[in-house]
Amino acid sequence: MEFKAQSIAEFLNGTVEGDANVTVSNVAKIEEGKPGTLAFLSNPKYTKYIYETEASIVIVSNDFQAEKEINTTLIRVDDPYKAFASLLDLYQMAKGTKQGIENPSFIDPTATIGEGIYLGAFAYIGKNVKIGNNVKIYPQAYIGDNTIIGDNTTIFAGVKIYEDTRIGMGCILHAGSVIGSDGFGFVPTEDGTYKKIPQVGNVVLEDFVEIGANTTVDCATMGSTIIHKGAKIDNLIQIAHNCEVGENTVMAALTGLAGSTKVGKNCKFGGHVGVAGHLTIGDNVTLGAMSGVTNNVKDDKTMLGAPAMDISHAAKVMVVYRNLPQLRDQIITLQKEVAQLKGQQSN
């Protein structure tokens, strides 16, 4: 489909600067823009590309000031990033959505299926499963017995959902994610082997949770592992048994939570964060990339490093760390001077 600049501006409550009748049929990054595409400028470090991009339309902020001639049509809005996200939603809807049940697939006779469902080929729906309206389940997904899935949830190809899982409405589970696999629970025995502890709990994903590709959320040993409303979990993340992740918390790739960790609301975890088991992370906590958390963290803290420490202290530690070679040389020099002084005193 093609969209005119004027139509896009009206949708975004923005204003056109340039050719209001120019059309676009695709989107692109500003540095890779081609004729017929739409891009946006939000990050100042990409400003140089607006003078050379071939994109037909670029969304910019109302306060953007051009320093030289621009050859593309601009649409000015309050927040280019949010505006572009809204357009991507519109673009996705314009592409259409899948519906219907493909064959071969299996639906147990005891399962309940809502209206407007899409079920891809080779998908499996177990006993007593309840699936809401407008749910999309892509090929080769497995939905275990007694699972409940809310309206408008999307489950991409190859997702595995173990029995008794509870998934709210508007959730997105990306390809290869595993929900409800056994927690890592073993008891050492006298002969040095390990006896497995049965994991009899489940996983609860509340409304509007997003789980990234190849992420695993383990079931609880007893009770529930819970991901609360609006949490966004990136790819390749491990959330262990009996963990709890608060509302609107976001976690970047390769983060790992050990068992029974409790994370508060509105937290932000950078990539490769590790959190030890049985800890409590407060609300509004930010953990920098590769932080290693070994103690509880209070509300509103920003932590960095391994072991993680308050960012103000971590900055001081980093200064010392960067200067270690120089400090080493100074210590060696001082040692030599002390040795000389001792030699002079003994003489």
Three-state secondary structure readout of 61-100: ECCCCCCCCCCCEEEEECCHHHHHHHHHHHHHHHCCCCCE
CA dihedral sign, ordered 82, 87, 93, 95: negative
**Is 90:38 a contact under the CB 8 Å cutoff?**
no
Task: Let me know if 241 is a catalytic residue.
Answer: yes
User: How many angstroms separate the Cα of 289 from the Cα of each of 162, 251, 278, 308, 315?
Assistant: 31, 10, 21, 10, 14
Residue 172's φ and ψ, nearest 5 degrees, are -130, 125
Nearest residue to 275 via CA among 253, 292, 300, 262: 292
What's the CA gap between 28 and 34, in Å, rounded?
8
What's the CA gap between 296 and 317, in Å, rounded?
20
Nearest residue to 2 via CA among 91, 96, 75: 91
CA atoms within 13 Å, Cβ hemisphere of 197: 14
DSSP track, 270-287: -TT-EE-TT-EE-TT-EE
Catalytic residue among 228, 241, 272, 313: 241
Which residues are annotated as catalytic? 241
